[in-house]
Chains A and B, each alone.
Chain A
Amino acid sequence: MSELISKNAVELAALIHSGEVTSEEVTKVHLDRIDSVDEKVHAFLFVDKENAMASAREVDAAIQSGTIASPLAGVPLALKDVLTMKDVPTTCGSKILQGWKPQYDSTVVARLRSAGIVILGKTNMDEFAMGSSTEYSAYGPTKNPWDLSRIPGGSGGGSAASLAAFEAPLAIGTDTGGSIRQPAAVTGTVGVKPTYGAVSRYGLVALASSLDQAGPCTRSVMDAALLHQAIAGHDPMDSTSINTAMPNVVDAAKNQSIKGMKIGLVKQLGGDGYQVGVRKRFDEVVELLGSLGAEVVEISCPSFEYALAAYYLILPSECSSNLAKFDGMRYGLRVGDDGKHSVEEVMSLSRAEGFGPEVKRRIMLGTFALSSGYYDAYYGSAQKVRTLIAKDFNDAFAQVDVLISPTAPTTAFKIGDKVDDPLAMYLNDVATIPVNLAGNCAMSLPIGLADEDNLPVGLQIMAPVMADDRLYFLGAVIEAALESQWGHRFIDKVPAL
């Protein structure tokens, strides 16, 4: 294993920018790593070797002529397969999009390109980002590098696993109900869901438009801040993109004092239903925060109890409409076009064949929730719960600077354990969903291994809308304090593959 692949993105960038190594070399060692371990991990759906090497050489040439496009220029990245990249296959983990090569770049990809970040390929995910384990990918599950018999979380299991397997130092995920944070928690990596509207959704194949948000996945808080800075900012192509200056997340990630910071523990997140080992690590962090001078208080957010229910009405409703376009007429899989079947039949056959069971389940659920006679009771009520949850956050942030909770109720479970039990699967997102419903931001970072299974535990930090800098401010302090306790980075304990 090359020493280069274990380094954080910041370190790699420093080496590349100082001319000690080239981006080409760094890219090459990561492609080699993918070659040697991805058969076991299955983090990637597509590896874009030639283009990656070509862009690495371009960055090297620019650096030689004195141009460093961004602080992460030359560092390779793994892209979740839900973001379009011109002429590169984009499947969203679905059979219905097999072979689709988008004719355009998503804004996130355009920004990565202009930052000189080298895109290695597309990572595996639950089909159309629906799932918490990556088992619902039509192309087979991704394995958790900490224990290959376990799930890497989902939907962005591929992106998170690629980091823990040292296949990439940076990755992009998308988070609709926890798809960045929960995989980060169970793979011992860092993941951030930025404020809704901070990162453009143009070219992000929509699951639930009002909840989706792309964000950084990394192995350190500072790496996440730099990647966050590279992809965030106003985009006129996305009507929901926020048109004001982003807070400076990079400055915030510089390990400063949290003396006097007010931190709220969410009463409703972290009690019954949370694994003992998860709660133990979490309680230790709470104590640590106190010892670092923060003021920690318990905050009640009573409406959070209804978040999961509201989410599983709003998401399926929006997704039933967003996924209607996949009908086999203009792109993607077409089934039954034999000259006898009508267009309606061909659409129905293509969708039945192209979508997996979880996608169908949610489409049916959403179709029901929006149908006449049920709209008010289901979709309408869910939207009211959304108002209540935002109010809980507002009330909380009037008292504290940030809120914290465990990211996920359990550590990584075994592949196959929950795949046929949708309700059990949905519970994985119980702590991450409120933030998506209210539109504010959150981070998950590793806080240790659970005693009972030696698997990573994640801490979630939640901050108000457009106060993403607070996530990094606190995250950097916790990371530094824990690393100094452990004497090493958390990721250094991941077993060799």
Chain B
Amino acid sequence: MAELSREQVAHLAKLARLALSDEELEHYAQQLGVILDSVAKVTEVATADIKPTSHAIEMTNVFREDEIRPSFSSETTSRNAPEWEDERFRVPRILDEE
């Protein structure tokens, strides 16, 4: 059922922000195809009348009260930042806005 082309795998890698080499793309195209063939078996029993399950335990309406709780200090926030400048996380240039 599933044959993944190299282009498809390259597209997935772009969506997932993974810089993969040509060799890796080739490798994953082949490997993902094999895995998908094997997992595609779910379609054999997944008929239209079955309700999908997203949460194993049925619960609804879990809320918290609208109350303020302590936040991090600037120092705590910054503690693991690869780059920190002017109380903010410094990141490389952004090409275009959403």
Contact = CB atoms under 8 A, between A and B. Distances in A.
Contacts of A337: 82-83, 92
Contact of B52 (A99, A239, A349, A383): A383
B28 A342 contact: no
B16 interface: yes
B51 A306 contact: no
3 A-B pairs closest in CB distance: A439-B56, A383-B52, A381-B46
B89 A383 contact: no
Interface string A403-432: 000000000000000000011000000000
B19 A351 contact: yes
Given A330-B81, A352-B19, A422-B31, A384 B46 contact: yes
Contacts of A383: 52-54
A387 B50 contact: yes
A286 interface: no
B18 interface: yes
B19 A345 contact: yes
B92 to A, nearest CB: 4
Contacts of B20: 352, 360
Contact of A423 (B35, B62, B83, B91): B35
B16 A363 contact: yes
- Per DSSP, are chain A's interface residues mostly helix, strand or loop, or mixed? helix
Contacts of B16: 320, 324, 351, 363-364, 367
Contacts of A330: 80-82, 89
Contacts of A368: 4, 8, 12, 32, 36
B52 A387 contact: yes
B18 A355 contact: yes
Interface footprint category on B: 35 or more
A240 B62 CA distance: 8
Interface in A338-365: 339, 341-349, 351-352, 355, 360-361, 363-365
B94 A364 contact: no
B56 A386 contact: yes
A388 B45 contact: yes
Contacts of A197: 57, 59
B44 interface: yes
Contacts, number: 176
Contacts of B24: 360
Interface stretch (A159-167, A307-315, A453-461, A476-484): A307-315
Interface string A367-406: 1100100000110111111111010000000000000000
Nearest to A237: B64
Interface in B21-36: 24, 28, 31-32, 34-36
Nearest to A312: B39
A348 B17 contact: yes
Nearest to A342: B95
Contact of A103 (B14, B43, B46, B79): B79
A351 B91 CA distance: 15
Given A103-B72, A306-B42, A327-B17, A438 B82 contact: no
Contacts of A347: 17
A193 B50 CA distance: 27
A46 interface: no
A351 B54 contact: no
A195 B72 CA distance: 33
Contacts of B57: 195-197, 240, 242, 439, 465
A116 B4 CA distance: 53
Given A342-B95, A368-B4, A385 B42 contact: yes
B76 A310 contact: no
B94 to A, nearest CB: 5
